[in-house]
Amino acid sequence: MEGLKNLRSQDAIVKLRELAESIDICMFCTNLKTDDGASCRPMSTQKVCEEGNIWFFSPRDSDKNMELEWNKKVQLFYSHPGKDSFMIVNGEAEIILDKEKIEKLWSPVLITWFQGGKDDPNISILKVKPTTAYYWDTEGNKMINFLKMMASAATGKNLVEGNEGTLSI
């Protein structure tokens, strides 16, 4: 990695949005005290808003929502090995039942999970407000970075360009 690049405020939100929306799928972990991985599940990021909140759709009667009723702390693990982009987000989740927000975030692919569409009685939205986040992001494509790693091994100088750091929102 090229260097440590801690980002704050709007720059942090831009990076958070860039990574969360381009990677899309994260492991959404609740019930963090058990630490056994059983309460982690893949979730698709719907949007990262201007305030840096990350939005997801979730069935109202899901185990995830029940766990959030007990403890709002969550961890999101984003990983895109093909781009060498990774991010961990710690935050607090809130269950939202606002029909207007559902309408705004709705995507036709969601019919797979919510057969009743936007009016499905089992639909909810999760808003995750990040408290801390850390990212690793390598620039360039995988093949070029592989060649740079080989050259780095030969020369002893790191030629792979990328950044890592905290995101303070």
| Element spanning 86, H or E | strand 85-96
How confident is the model at residue 150, as a pLDDT? 42
How confident is the model at residue 2, as a pLDDT? 57
HSE value, Cβ hemisphere, 13 Å, CA-based, for 37: 1
Token pair, residue 40, equals 């982690």
Q: What is the mean pLDDT of the chain?
A: 87
Q: Which domains does the chain have, with CATH numbers?
A: 3-168 (2.30.110.10)
pLDDT interval class at 4 (50, 70, 90): confident
How confident is the model at residue 164, as a pLDDT? 84
Stretch 17-37: mean pLDDT: 90
Which residues sit opposite 114 in a β-bridge?
none
pLDDT interval class at 138 (50, 70, 90): confident
For residue 145, pLDDT over 80 is answered with no
How confident is the model at residue 130, as a pLDDT? 98
Token pair, residue 45, equals 């990021």
